[in-house]
Amino acid sequence: MTAKKPVVITLHNPILLHEKKLWNGGFRFIAGVDEAGRGPLAGPLVVAAAILPYGKKTFPPVNDSKKLSPKERDRIYAELMSLGGFSFAVVRVEVDEIDRINIFQAVVKGMRQAVEKLPQAQIALVDGISFKGIPLEARFIIKGDAKSASIAAASIVAKVERDRIMREYALEYPLYGFDKNMGYGTQKHLEALAKHGPCEIHRKSYAPVRDMISPQPIQQELSFY
């Protein structure tokens, strides 16, 4: 029998361990930071920063957005938005910028800007490996979207926001099925790409799109790592 997923999470949940340590250490505004859209062939990168309210006893059942169904993500997203004291910021890095500076630098840029949009943040918990550029004390957690509630909340916000963008693009570019593949390289997406060629929101620095165009984009050298 499959165990039921929690309706809320409490302070005893391991996913709040990082937050509890920081709250007990005097921090009140902890920004979790994550992104959605690192791997797709099309569409923007979306980065979110999220601050869970200090002093609450229960929270929406956040988790790594990839482990949640679209319906679960939408429900938890709505619960976060109605949670008193919840703060968040969203940054969108467009395709031309990704092609210009590369996806790794785009992630860094988006994460830095998302944190800057939350001036009350005292410390950041960031999903992934360490890099320079976060404008306050930051702690980097590999697979942090499954280990930190703040990062998990940011991952859900980023994913839901990006999926909405891609559904809008599906109306503008109906040949590619963006409402179903969200820009990822599914078989049907690749078949449509081969048949019709890339559209305006395809990432021209990503193979196989890169191999279909000439001249190929030249990315500037930047480093925050």
Structure tokens at 46: 């979306």
Give the whole-angstrom CA distance, residue 218 versus residue 144: 32
Crossing angle of helices 70-81/149-172, nearest 10°?
110
pLDDT digits (tens, 9 = 90+) for 141-197: 999 999 999 999 999 999 999 999 999 999 999 999 999 999 999 999 999 999 999
Flag whether pLDDT at 42 surpasses 60. Answer: yes
Fold designation for 9-212? Nucleotidyltransferase; domain 5 (3.30.420)
Please determine, for residue 84, whether its predicted confidence score (pLDDT) is greater than 80. yes
Centroid of chain to Cα 47: 5
- Structural domain spans, the chain: 9-212
Write down the pLDDT at residue 214: 76
Helix (H) or strand (E) holding 168: helix 149-172
* Alpha carbon 178 to its chain's center: 18
Lowest-pLDDT choice from 2-11, 35-44, 158-167, 195-204: 2-11
